[in-house]
Amino acid sequence: MKKGKLKINVLGLISRYSLLILAALFNLWIFYAIFTPLTIYPVYFLTKLFYSTILLGNILIVSNIIPIVLIKACIAGSAYYLLFIFNMSIPNIKLKKRIGMITFSFLSLLVLNVIRIVALIIVYMQKNSAFDLTHEIIWYVFGTLFVVGIWFAEVRIFRIKEIPFYSDLKLLIGRIKK
């Protein structure tokens, strides 16, 4: 019985970390393929509430003259990947709960990111001289706080007891010692 459990834990560990590696292939392509349209369209529709806006691919033409390009950094694919890493590097989580955790974290980041981009567009359109500083602060400080805050909320909401990576290492070392 214990030997079967060891196989399941090791197989689960291998499959979780294989998914992490696969998700990173091709420069996080999967995250950008999924979250680029999920980010651009809500930003477009919300911006349209405030300004005349046209969408051309990943470019918003605001007030018929101002082009705003939503580049990969705006989409925050690496932040989604970091949340994915946190979620996949926790052992002993049932599939349904893990899917719920990932969904919660991705939706939370998506909503916060869309709000961030629309707020920055509004600041930019006001010809605010503090736009560059605001953009930098929001990018570096709030970007990090979004991910950390979402993870802490997830730990609390889903009652996560394990620590990413550490719990897997502890499990492996314990199995090796036996």
pLDDT score recorded for residue 176:
78
Q: Enumerate the H helices of 51-165 as residue ranges.
A: 72-75, 77-88, 95-125, 131-137, 143-157
Q: For 103-126, write each residue's pLDDT tens digit.
A: 999 999 999 999 999 999 998 998
Q: Do the beta carbons of residue 114 and residue 61 sit within 8 Å? A: no
Range of the domain at 98: 2-177
**How far apart, in whole angstroms, are the C-alpha atoms of residue 138 and residue 125?**
17
- 150/169: higher pLDDT: 150
Helices 77-88 and 2-50, axial angle in degrees (round to 10): 150
pLDDT score recorded for residue 113:
95
> In this model, does residue 5 exceed pLDDT 80?
no
pLDDT score recorded for residue 1:
40
Q: Confidence band (pLDDT; 50, 70, 90) for 90? A: very high
Highest mean pLDDT among 8-17, 70-79, 135-144, 166-175: 70-79
Q: What is the count of structural domains for the chain?
A: 1
**Region of residue 77 (left: phi > 0; alpha: psi -120 to 50; beta: else):** alpha
> In this model, does residue 8 exceed pLDDT 80?
no
Look over the chain and give the mean of its residue pLDDT values, rounded to a whole number. Answer: 90
**How far apart, in whole angstroms, are the C-alpha atoms of residue 42 and residue 21?**
30
What are the residues facing 61 on neighbouring strands?
54, 67
- Would you call 12 exposed, middle or buried from its count of C-beta atoms within 10 A (0-12, 13-18, 19+)? middle
Q: For 132-143, write each residue's pLDDT tens digit.
A: 888 888 877 888
- Give the global pTM: 0.88
